[in-house]
Structure 1
Amino acid sequence: MDGGSSINILYVGTFDAMGISRSKLCTSIFPFLRIILGMRSYPMGNIELPDTFGDCSNFHTETLIFEVVDFDGSYHTILGRLCYAKFMTVPNYTYVKLKMPGPNGIITVSGSIEKAYACGREHFELATALTNSVELQKLRRTVTEGAPNSNEPTSSSPFRPTKDTMAIGIDPNDPIKTVQIWA
């Protein structure tokens, strides 16, 4: 569940496991951003699928549009704000629960905190590796283009204080621990 996402995402591995033919995908021509910071992604297509929450005595079914993406993810799907709005869902991220109205009372969908943590960690590592590989390529180009002149002095830190800074103590027990702020 991702209340920050404006789209519903279905990973191609899950899509293929569902046994749906790829010919059922509709064309998606617009990229989406911020799945991985600073990068754009193009979906393989989108598909409308009926989604049901609850059990046989109390359930709610709606049709959602999913963007099918062809890259690795640690989840099967990501349900975004469009899903929440359509099902009138209230997410609780602390307890990993979704609550929504059903014909016979409230439907509660429970997740696993341990699994959510493991998936979040895996997703973070995957996104970091992908971002770092792209950033490394940019950095290599930047370093070769903007290599420092051998006549200029170099510093081990890219940050240099300006003339108008002052040291402020951050630990009353240790006067050596300071931070420089703009005066």
Structure 2
Amino acid sequence: MAIPRYAYLKMKMPSTKGIITIFGDYKKSSACAAASSRLAESLVIAAKKRLLDRVVAMAGKQLDMSPDPKESEAEGSFKLAMETKKIPLDPEHPERYAVVGTNLDSK
């Protein structure tokens, strides 16, 4: 049942012998605000640095990749389904079809 008054750095709360008032320290409050601001800024800088390091690492990996697109496709993590079937998209054009895996879930 405490009532904080941030602008005045006071907190009031009832007790059995009346109202208790707790006073804050403006200098300490200012120092804490400055320290927390510096901490937040350093955390943001550290997060941006990690992101930049990841981007640089990804760019380095792309430079190591083969310039031949067929070689890079073979190295990909996508694996074709072993059992597939052709689904016609247009009955009048049998050359238009989609290939789907036969082991797909009904969802």
What is the TM-score when the length of structure 1 is the normalising length? 0.30
Structure (1/2) with the larger helix percentage: 2
Question: Which is greater in Rg?
Answer: 2
Pick 1 or 2: higher relative contact order, CA cutoff 8 A, min separation 6.
1
